[in-house]
Amino acid sequence: MKTKDNANLRLQGYAEESLHHLVGIMSGTSFDGVDAVLVEIKTGAEGYLESVRLLGQSSLPYSAALKSRLLPLCSPGTAKIDEIVFAHFGLARWYAAAVENLLKETGFPAERVTALCLHGQTIWHAPQGVGFPAPDGLDFPARGTLQIGSAPALREMLGIPVISDFRSRDMAAGGEGAPLAPYVDALLFGSDGRGRVVQNIGGIGNATVVPAGGSSARAKGSGAKSGDAKSAGIFAFDTGPGNMIMDELVRRHTGGTMHYDAEGRLGRQGNPDLALVERLMEDPFFSKRPPKSTGREVYGSGFVDVLIVEGKKRGLGGEDLIATATAFTAESIVRSYRDFIFPVAHIADVVVGGGGAMNPCLMDMLRRLLPQSVSLLTTADLGVPEQAREAMAFAVLGHEALMGRPGNLPEVTGASKSVILGVITL
């Protein structure tokens, strides 16, 4: 599938239109595959965003061969520059296939899609940065993030303009580059009467706090701009590991025959070492106040190497380690609520999305740790499939860029100012 090469014309007059159709494409730090969504965005007077409607969703799992090429790229000890270059181009074919599947399943014409909003595959995220030589002879604090997946290659494959590289501009403005979904969380999951935490559990966990009234009800009724989130009291941050440690342990425990703990079965078979969980919680990241973000460079294969050695010293079997990692994720999430959310916001519901929402063992642990007064829901309970949320968020961020509006929230990411996110490939 490739549209006519006058596809750039569809961007002309975008801000004056009231109905927009975009595709959001997300491949997360779990390295489980590509999620693509087709959304319809309605805008009202003065370009206010009135609604976001999911028209279709498609997932394309990564093959074992692809994972074996990608995962080594996330560690300085195994990453090779030629493999990064080839993967950057080659991943575009996977993104194109995901979009082709989505449009085939929905029957939606490619010519009516204004743009593809591509997050790409994160292989390194470094918000703290390092000293780097500068022209004045002093060290410059270099920081950044790298998502691979060539937007120009995807543009040529499908003939549709692509918006990509959403995180870099926020980081250039002094932010963490993450999380970027809180505005969309408020629109989709906010409530006039109930304060909520929207907890994504992908490879990494991140929480968006949407106080009562900072909500979809208000946004849909009167429209919303990105800046409205600040006055609504919305904030967000990474809580720590999500599925990443569990997934790597499962791969090693099963010799690569399983890539995640399906239905939490392995975690349920083990006994978590809660003393080890407490040791892991001593990491300074957990006591650091938001804004903050983290990634595979912290909780990837190197972390798992150390965890396995420690587990052997403590006599833990494979299932015990998986159960311990599951408990670590649950504890890091709920403790972040106790330290940084519950003291400043009344929360009635925790709404979980991402792959972690489909792990009953993890969800049970979260339920036991949360106060009884707080309900535990999934995004599907509120009408958004668990794997659709992040891809929908990037579709909305692409829309904001095309409207010429900032898509970051400085109070969330720590950036010095609001900036327009993304690079457009015409």
Over residues 247-283, the pLDDT tens digits come to 999 999 999 899 899 999 999 999 999 999 999 999 9
Mean pLDDT of all residues belonging to the chain: 91
Residue 259: per-residue pLDDT: 86
Task: Note whether residue 212 is domain-resident.
Answer: yes
- Of the candidates 382, 397, 413, which is a domain's last residue? 382
DSSP 377-388: EEGGGGTS-TTT
> Does residue 369 share a domain with residue 406?
no
**DSSP 8-class letter at 326:** H
CA torsion sign for 295, 296, 300, 303 is negative
> Does residue 393 share a domain with residue 371?
no
What does the alpha-carbon distance between residue 297 and residue 238 come to, in Å, rounded to a whole number? 14
CA torsion sign for 121, 123, 124, 125 is positive
Rg (CA), the chain: 21
Containing domain of residue 247, as a range? Answer: 196-382
Give 220's pLDDT tier (boundaries 50, 70, 90). Answer: very low
Question: Average of pLDDT values for 104-121?
Answer: 97
The 10 Å CB-count burial string (b at 16+, else e) for 211-226 is: bbebbbebbbeebbbb
> Does residue 229 share a domain with residue 374?
yes
What does the alpha-carbon distance between residue 399 and residue 117 come to, in Å, rounded to a whole number? 8
Between these two residues, 218 and 332, which has the higher pLDDT value?
A: 332
pLDDT of 223 above 60: no
Task: Note whether residue 253 is domain-resident.
Answer: yes
Task: Note whether residue 185 is domain-resident.
Answer: no
Task: Note whether residue 68 is domain-resident.
Answer: yes
Residue 212 is part of a domain; what is its CATH number?
3.30.420.40
pLDDT of 136 above 80: yes
Question: Average of pLDDT values for 208-236?
Answer: 60
Structure tokens at 223: 């429209």
Over residues 165-182, the pLDDT tens digits come to 999 999 999 999 988 888
Residue 270: per-residue pLDDT: 96
What does the alpha-carbon distance between residue 407 and residue 115 come to, in Å, rounded to a whole number? 16
**DSSP 8-class letter at 34:** E
CA torsion sign for 151, 157, 162, 167 is negative
* E strand spans, 203-256: 204-210, 235-241
Task: Note whether residue 2 is domain-resident.
Answer: no
Residue 229: per-residue pLDDT: 46
Question: Average of pLDDT values for 137-158?
Answer: 94
Helix, strand, coil % over all residues of the chain, rounded to 5: 45, 25, 35
> Does residue 242 share a domain with residue 154?
no
Over residues 273-330, the pLDDT tens digits come to 999 999 999 999 999 999 898 888 889 889 999 999 999 999 999 999 999 999 999 9
pLDDT of 218 above 70: no
Residue 216: per-residue pLDDT: 43
What does the alpha-carbon distance between residue 177 and residue 144 come to, in Å, rounded to a whole number? 8
SS3 319: helix
Question: Average of pLDDT values for 106-114?
Answer: 96
Question: Average of pLDDT values for 9-31?
Answer: 89
What does the alpha-carbon distance between residue 248 and residue 234 come to, in Å, rounded to a whole number? 33
Residue 4: per-residue pLDDT: 58
> Does residue 172 share a domain with residue 236?
no
Task: Note whether residue 241 is domain-resident.
Answer: yes
Percentage of the chain lying above the pLDDT 70 cut: 94
Residue 181: per-residue pLDDT: 85
Task: Note whether residue 335 is domain-resident.
Answer: yes
Task: Note whether residue 60 is domain-resident.
Answer: yes
User: What's phi and psi for 339, nearest 5 deg?
Assistant: -80, -40
> Does residue 159 share a domain with residue 236?
no
Residue 278: per-residue pLDDT: 98
Domain count, the chain: 2
> Does residue 164 share a domain with residue 207?
no
> Does residue 139 share a domain with residue 48?
yes
> Does residue 221 share a domain with residue 99?
no
> Does residue 104 share a domain with residue 133?
yes
Q: Are 158 and 110 in contact (CB under 8 A)?
A: yes
> Does residue 376 share a domain with residue 235?
yes
Residue showing tokens 């929908």: 392
> Does residue 127 share a domain with residue 148?
yes
pLDDT of 46 above 70: yes
pLDDT of 2 above 70: no
- Specify the range with the lowest mean pLDDT, choosing from 2-11, 98-107, 346-355: 2-11
User: CB-based burial of residue 136 (10 Å sphere; 0-12 exposed, 13-18 middle, 19+ buried)?
Assistant: exposed
